[in-house]
A = this chain, B = another copy of it.
Amino acid sequence: MSGSSAPSVPDHPVGFAVEPAWQGPVTQFDTRATPGFSGGKAEGAERLVAIDAELEDLQERLFAAHHGAEGGRSVLLVVQGMDTSGKGGIMRHVVGAVDPQGVDITAFKAPTATEKRHDFLWRIEPHAPAPGMIGVFDRSHYEDVLIHRVHGWADDAELARRYDAINEFEQRLVDAGTEVVKVMLHISYEEQGERLAERLERPDKHWKFNPGDIDERVLWPAYMDAYSRALGATSTEAAPWHVVPADRKWYARIAVQQLLVDALHRIDPQWPEADFDVAEQVARLEATRVLA
């Protein structure tokens, strides 16, 4: 490891960057592609392990330099995707490789009765990452413009209000020092069918299956439309979206890992200078060598 500003050696860029002017549809992106990476599954698995050390080093520097610091920097990784798109695998294999003391994962489920009585961002804001931390959202405030659109729980005017509110919220996070990385894990309809079938085949996977998953699956085209509109409305300069092809789990993992590494390189955290006189403290420690 040469230093935190030495970039890793990816075949950049990974995933598909969504430009602010993009109009969709999201189905234009190939779910089996491996943009930015020319290797196969075996090389992908090797790369995941190889880059872990870089990610760990950058995370520790971020924590050392920014934790508890006024105006300190942080990272927020937002992970969205259809059922079975591999969000859990990202949490285990990418986020899970980082020191857990520097990571704060929030899984947003269906809102509680109390949460429903507030604006949709009310339950989100408390989980914005503190300085020095990597915050991770497993689903997020985007559910309020995805499932809500698909089921007609919000009309067009309300959806437009929410897109604006999201952009303002994320701009505020960025202004406060947070690198916002938004990822859509993009799988195909066929791949979802196979992954749901596997959950039904294996008794140790039954707990992950819910009959409601099939009810949502039938609404696939409406979900793709909702994703297209949401990504188009909320991919901003400050907080752009990345569509990550996810039919190949190994690729999605190295792509999200690289997006995290890139965000940390943009912060470029450096080991802080000692705020004490090192020689003086060495002498003090020396004086305690033998227990009095």
Contact = CB atoms under 8 A, between A and B. Distances in A.
Contacts of A292: 218
Interface string A249-292: 00000000000000000000001111010100110110011011
Contacts of A88: 99, 101
Given A189-B291, A291-B189, A284 B211 contact: yes
B101 A91 contact: yes
Give the size category of A's interface with B.
35 or more
B197 A271 contact: no
User: Interface centre among A95, A206, A214, A220, by most B CB within 10 Å?
Assistant: A206
A64 B214 contact: no
Interface in A125-150: 138
A40 interface: no
B288 A206 contact: no
Interface of A: 64-65, 88, 91-92, 95-96, 99-101, 103, 105, 107, 138, 189, 193, 196-197, 200, 203-204, 206-211, 214, 217-218, 220-221, 271-274, 276, 278, 281-282, 284-285, 288-289, 291-292
15 contacts: A64-B208, A88-B101, A91-B100, A92-B99, A96-B96, A96-B100, A200-B281, A200-B285, A204-B271, A206-B273, A207-B272, A211-B284, A214-B288, A217-B285, A218-B292
